[in-house]
Structure 1
Amino acid sequence: MNPPATDDGDPFQDPSTSPPNLPTQLTLAVGRNAFLNLGSESLVVLDEGFVDKEPVRCCGLLQPKTTRAIPFHNILWAELADWEIAISYAHPTSKDAVRVAHINYIVEKTDRQDAEAWIERLLERAYGQSQRRKRIKVLVNPFGGKGSAQKWFTRDIEPIFAAARSELSVEKTKYSGHATEIAEQLDIDAWDVVACCSGDGVAYEVINGFGKRPDAARALRKVAVVQLPCGTGNAMCLNLTGTDSTSLSALSVTKGIRMPLDLVSITQGDRRTLSFLSQAVGIIAEVDLGTENLRWMGSARFTYGFIVRLLGQTIYPADIAIGVEVEDKAAVKEAYKRQHADPTPYTPPEVTDESAGLPKLKYGTVNDELPTDWKMIPHDKLGNFYCGNMAFMAPDTNFFAAALPSDGCMDLVTIDGDIPRLTALKLLMAVGSGNQESLFDMSCVNYRKVSGFRIVPKQKGGGYISIDGEKMPFEPFQAEVHRALGTVLSKTGRVYEADGVA
């Protein structure tokens, strides 16, 4: 019996038959009638002992499947215990879920050295640039996902981390701000990742906890912060893993590559906080924070709130000053395409001072004089002020299609509140459809790359300000981006899992 072929075009399906002989260093014989082969994209298992309920058709006849292909991305771990080779992998149970599965074979005593070398080659292909056996501090918000976060972690996430031989320490958050306290006191030399089983709120707290430390710069650089979708808002996970499936995102974190992330300093009053996602004043902030009484509607409350305010031509007057880096949409597209195509990820300078805190503010605080190249301009008919550091704000809502993880810029969208109702409906359909091109290209949408801004809301009777989905006091604030201050894990180590502007 010949070793298997390496046609990996259809993962988990039967590879092509009639294979040629392959280099022995890629193929491991495991028993008389079984082979394990390292293909180009998959581990191919050939075993005449397979019993499969779905035989393949060959030459008009039904033939039993004797091969399986497991994508390297799904390989979690492999090891040789005594004379048995054990391989753990994430097996798809549906389009949106995987579960841990295993294959085991006996290796002849004389083949032990070859088996150990083959396992190492398998793990090299399975992990590539990603760190193996990550040390993960897990924070579970037991109130997340309407109380389901703990169940999702136990059922979908923990088995994948365990099968990948990750070192875990699990802690439940007990109250708002608890994750900030944990991050402030965390031994950052003991952990590679803080994984937040929650919505975006716990990730926000962890980043700000690191920001409060005297060694903030080192903490933010050394420990990657990730979010697993166990809450209402899961934007960080969508951007970094491309999914809001708990098990698929756990697999992506296991295989995640370290990636620098821009963070944004927000100064308001005498306070300084860090933002990783977005800052909103106007319709987005009000729809997010002002529809709490409609939670019974589920995600439809956002659509309902958006329609009511758009059709009502609601305005949110404010004075705005901006540090513009890229002014018009054509230039924004070119900047995005150029950096997105660059195969070399941005490498931030090393943190040489281990006691360095947050970087100094280049533009000062909201209480200081405006930077000389910023000009405060009244926006009496403002409908939406929305600044983002990531692309997806919700599933199918790729609001900031030109966003990049570490380009040193925030993406700013402004829309007037008195646009015609027909235009407002087209805008709503563009947002809801996930068609980033139609949203970006609409003439009513102003899209710029900025390094900072100051906004002074003037809405009578107050209103809403949202920072990373968290409600902030309704008063002036200033934002300034810090290039590559934070660290996350992503599939590529370079870009978000979102379609960008063409």
Structure 2
Amino acid sequence: MSSSGAAAERSEAPHDSTIVVDKSVTLTLSSDSLLIVDERISRKKNRGCCGLCKSKNKTNTTQAISLYNVLDAEVNPSNLVITFAEHSAQNDVTVSVLDYPISEKEKPAIEAWVNQLLDQSYGTVQRKRRLKVLVNPFGGKGTADSLYQTYAAPIFAAARCQVDVQNTDYRGHAIEIAEQLDIDAYDAIVCCSGDGLPYEVFNGLGKRSNGREALAKVAVTLLPCGSGNGMTWNCLGTGSVSIAALGIVKGQRSPLDLVSITQGDTRTLSFLSQSFGIVAESDLGTDHIRWMGAQRFTYGFLVRLLKRTIWPCTLNIKVEIDDKRAIKEHYATFAARELDPKVDQKRLEAAEQSPALPELQYGTVQSELPGDWESVPGENMGNFYAGNMAIMSKDTNFFPASLPNDGLMDIVTIDGTVSRATSLKMMNEISTGGFFDMPDVKIRKATAFRLVPHENEGYISIDGEQVPFEALQAEIHRGLGTTLSKSGIRYEADGPK
């Protein structure tokens, strides 16, 4: 921007949105950014005078910082200090600091301006969040601790978050931590892991006698340190630890549908997905090659496609929408909504009045099957996949019509008798967005289902975790959980075309 253009913008801005510091640095607040115009004088030697005289060369540097990236600002005894997350690479941010001297006379006006800067930068988002950080040192490639310390901890410190870090020492440890957590002491639980740790945390909160209240009060979020990292891709739109940390600082509290899963006498909670067939096999059957990262899923899919394509079962679904056009219309209606903070407040009040987990509307897997559920042919089932989020891992927008808080799960069923060529095309079309409309892909929005495997051995995956290979029933609860997201309304994924 030219100096004349910058001057014009300053003249149009409200008087109290612009300040001048260090005599020639102008800081202006717009609706979404902080504009810095630096017109300080630099003295350079004039070679034409043989070094005997000097000329003044005026430099004009303009910088725009997104208010989303502003972490903190304060007035010290003699300085104005602004801390922000600066893009140091395409998929990374680091903490940067602006530091300007100020006089005692300038302090009142600058303090008022700082308050305005922070108000605009955070909006309705809570500042200085209290974070319980859980690090799984064994997940993914085993680098969660170093990733957290290098990329996330500086962001949290710069935003003045109160942080309590704890390692998880064994499978299920996060369940115990969440079950015993003081829910009034923390605003969010930050999982440094893959999707396995959030699964444990949701279930730990749900096991409490006041499970519904705990799930409404404490947000559960993820720093992407594992193989899939579906929660981060959906809620924060990134696979970068530093950018996800910024998203946790600036994220909106977002109601999140959770799914109750019953098997035998047990009840667990799911936030991401339930799978049976080739996807479950590709996920759980490749646990021994986690070092490959997300590529292990593709490898597992290709290997199993060559060996076997049918996993027979009995399937019944409580279908709510089964037409693809109607599903697209439903998505468009919900995705167009604006965030209303009153919704979250009402949800918290309701949870405090009825703190226990909601009762199961359709009973358990052992209950009599409701008569209005649709029977879906399952003898030739190739893939059953139920999703509560859109993206399962990087570039796998498997459920593009999924929404965080519509009270519906998206169920995909694919016949195992389709050709291998068609199956490969399906896999390729997931990343292009063409998967949804393929004629061999059946999609339903539902509130519940029951699946009974016909064989004795195999894999069933819940949020990427293995559960017993036996009959299961699932039922969704609208807005039971809480997470942090960029929009508070929709996932960071392309909707159906």
Q: Same fold (TM over 0.5)?
A: yes
User: Given the alignment, which residue of 221, 231, 238 partners 2:233?
Assistant: 238
Partners of 2:259 and 2:476 within 8 A in 1: yes
Q: Does 2:441 match 1:445?
A: yes
Name the structure 2 match of 1:86: 81
User: Given the alignment, which residue of 14, 18, 23 partners 1:27?
Assistant: 18
Q: CA deviation at 1:388?
A: 0.3
Query: 3-state DSSP class of the match of 1:122?
Result: helix
TM-score scaled to structure 2, two decimals?
0.92
Q: Give the superposed CA RMSD.
A: 2.1
Moved more, 345-354 or 119-128: 345-354
Partners of 1:214 and 1:356 within 8 A in 2: yes
| CA deviations over 1:400-455 (Å, ceiling 9, x no partner) | 00000000000000000010233222112113xx122x100000000010000000
Give the direction of change, closer, same or farther, for the CA distance of 1:294–1:98 in structure 2 (3 Å limit): closer
User: Given the alignment, which residue of 458, 466, 479 partners 1:463?
Assistant: 458
Name the structure 2 match of 1:36: 27
Q: Which runs of 5+ in 1 are unaligned?
A: 6-14, 52-61
Partners of 2:141 and 2:291 within 8 A in 1: no
Give the partner amino acid of 2:127: R
Moved more, 98-107 or 360-369: 98-107
Partners of 2:312 and 2:453 within 8 A in 1: yes
2-structure distance, mates of 1:466, 1:262: 18
Name the structure 2 match of 1:424: 423
2-structure distance, mates of 1:206, 1:194: 8
Name the structure 2 match of 1:176: 171
Partners of 2:6 and 2:37 within 8 A in 1: no
Query: 3-state DSSP class of the match of 2:357?
Result: coil
Q: CA deviation at 1:113?
A: 1.2
Q: Does 2:362 match 1:363?
A: yes
Give the direction of change, closer, same or farther, for the CA distance of 1:246–1:50 in structure 2 (3 Å limit): farther
1:463-502 matched pairs, under 5 angstroms: 463-502=458-497
Query: 3-state DSSP class of the match of 2:209?
Result: coil
Query: 3-state DSSP class of the match of 1:45?
Result: strand
2-structure distance, mates of 1:441, 1:289: 27
1:254-293 matched pairs, under 5 angstroms: 254-293=249-288
Moved more, 268-277 or 309-318: 309-318
Name the structure 1 match of 2:373: 374
Name the structure 1 match of 2:432: 435
Name the structure 2 match of 1:136: 131
Partners of 1:4 and 1:44 within 8 A in 2: no
Q: CA deviation at 1:379?
A: 1.1
2-structure distance, mates of 1:212, 1:476: 22
2-structure distance, mates of 1:218, 1:293: 37
Name the structure 1 match of 2:328: 333
Moved more, 303-312 or 168-177: 303-312
Query: 3-state DSSP class of the match of 2:134?
Result: strand
Give the direction of change, closer, same or farther, for the CA distance of 1:301–1:145 in structure 2 (3 Å limit): closer
Q: Does 2:399 match 1:400?
A: yes
TM-score scaled to structure 1, two decimals?
0.91
Q: Does 2:214 match 1:219?
A: yes
Name the structure 2 match of 1:196: 191
Give the direction of change, closer, same or farther, for the CA distance of 1:402–1:352 in structure 2 (3 Å limit): closer
| CA deviations over 1:133-161 (Å, ceiling 9, x no partner) | 11111111122342211111111001100
Give the direction of change, closer, same or farther, for the CA distance of 1:355–1:402 in structure 2 (3 Å limit): closer
2-structure distance, mates of 1:83, 1:297: 52
Name the structure 2 match of 1:9: none
2-structure distance, mates of 1:184, 1:294: 31
Give the partner amino acid of 1:46: V
Name the structure 2 match of 1:47: 38
Q: CA deviation at 1:300?
A: 3.4
Partners of 2:315 and 2:451 within 8 A in 1: yes
Name the structure 1 match of 2:144: 149
Q: CA deviation at 1:63?
A: 8.4
Q: Which runs of 5+ in 2 are unaligned?
A: 43-56
1-structure distance, mates of 2:424, 2:195: 29
1-structure distance, mates of 2:427, 2:38: 54
Name the structure 2 match of 1:76: 71
| CA deviations over 1:113-134 (Å, ceiling 9, x no partner) | 1111100110011111211111
2-structure distance, mates of 1:140, 1:386: 29
Give the direction of change, closer, same or farther, for the CA distance of 1:442–1:369 in structure 2 (3 Å limit): same
Identity %: 51
